[in-house]
Chains A and B, each alone.
Chain A
Amino acid sequence: MTINKTRENETLTVTIEGRLDTTTAPQLEAELKSSLDDIKKLVFDIKDLEYISSAGLRVLLSAQKVMNKQGNMVVKGANESVMEIFEVTGFVDILNIE
């Protein structure tokens, strides 16, 4: 998995490529923990995310909970397989998916 972060004023864009699974999710969690202070808008660009498991969903849910308190969060570019996981788990209703 590769994570790229771009900050512009109070907007943070996090690009995730590859696999977000049990072994890589802690890495994303740590990256977010250290960079969400003062952020009003969090954008996840996941067009090159190939795979997500429940460990990855947990990190997205935690981020959503944080952002509900301090601004908003958008998830964009999900491929068909990742989208199916969002649908099956009801994440389509709790995440702002573009």
Chain B
Amino acid sequence: MPRLEIEAKTENLEKVNDFIAEVLIGCPMKLLMQIDLAVEEIFVNIASYAYKDKTGNVSVDCDIKDGLLTMVFEDGGEMFDPLKKTDPDISASAEEREIGGLGIFLTKKLMDEVNYEYKNGKNILTLIKKI
């Protein structure tokens, strides 16, 4: 499985997107955008919160097999299950809307499957998408 290991900081987002795009060469634009978006939301989440004030790495594994794209994000930061976050109320008015909370929600909506586990001191988030 192609793997990228990189420091978990927002500035590296483009490198992560480039890495995923290489695996997805030839993929339709719309699908690519959905995948890019999930990757951004997850990576930025890890970059912003996993290591608090410290720095650390995140690894991204990405592979396509039997029409399924699997992406696995692993970090050694604080234990955090982003899937536990309550979904935002998408029927609320602009005034009632909170600024934020949409990233994980979008990821869940755009991917076919999102799983979280904490194993050997690592947060492991797996995203699966039919392509």
Contact = CB atoms under 8 A, between A and B. Distances in A.
A54 B14 CA distance: 16
A57 B102 CA distance: 9
Interface stretch (A5-13, A33-41, A85-93): A85-93
Contacts, number: 63
Q: Which applies to chain A's interface (DSSP): helix, strand, loop or mixed?
A: helix
A1 B62 CA distance: 27
Q: Which applies to chain B's interface (DSSP): helix, strand, loop or mixed?
A: helix
A58 interface: yes
B99 A62 contact: yes
B30 A51 contact: no
B40 A89 contact: no
Contacts of A64: 94
A81 B29 contact: yes
B25 interface: no
Contact of A94 (B14, B34, B93, B99): B93
A61 interface: yes
A53 B94 contact: no
A80 interface: yes
B33 interface: yes
Given A54-B102, A80-B30, A23 B41 contact: no
Interface string B3-40: 00000001101100000000000000110011011001
22 contacts: A22-B10, A22-B44, A23-B14, A51-B37, A53-B40, A53-B41, A53-B103, A54-B100, A57-B102, A58-B99, A58-B102, A61-B94, A61-B99, A65-B95, A68-B95, A81-B29, A84-B30, A88-B106, A89-B90, A89-B105, A89-B106, A90-B90
Interface of A: 21-23, 50-51, 53-55, 57-58, 61-62, 64-65, 68, 80-81, 84-85, 88-90, 93-94
Given A54-B41, A80-B30, 17 more contacts: A21-B13, A22-B44, A51-B33, A53-B106, A54-B103, A61-B97, A68-B94, A81-B30, A81-B34, A84-B34, A88-B106, A89-B88, A89-B105, A90-B91, A93-B91, A94-B93, A94-B97
